[in-house]
Amino acid sequence: MDNSIAAILEMDKKARAVSDEAAQKAEKLLADAAAKKERLASEHAEKLTAESEKKLAVLKENSDKEIAAAESAADEKCRALDEKMSAGRAAWKKEILDNILNIEAL
């Protein structure tokens, strides 16, 4: 009977050791998984940031080109209007004065 009790106690001792080892492995696996999750999240965030910065740079470059083209077109229109104004100034002035003088003569 002592042998049976000793055998049961020995089996219990081994079972507890196996259970403790399994619990330690489970804790290690959970800790490793949490660390990997955090590392992957960090890498993903860094990758997203880099991609966002790259896309922002492309958008800024394109918008700068569009703004420069719009400003150039506006400058060209202003220059053309200034030329027309300068070229027609004397004739328009004379026409306006003639119209005013003709109205007063009526």
Per-residue HEC secondary structure of the chain comes to CHHHHHHHHHHHHHHHHHHHHHHHHHHHHHHHHHHHHHHHHHHHHHHHHHHHHHHHHHHHHHHHHHHHHHHHHHHHHHHHHHHHHHHHHHHHHHHHHHHHHHHHHC
User: What percent of the chain is modeled with pLDDT above 90?
Assistant: 70
pLDDT in tens, 49-58: 999 999 999 9
The pLDDT of residue 104 is: 64
* Average pLDDT of span 7-16: 90
The pLDDT of residue 59 is: 97
* Average pLDDT value over all residues in the chain: 92
Predicted TM-score of the model (pTM): 0.52
The pLDDT of residue 100 is: 86
Judge whether residue 71 has pLDDT over 80: yes
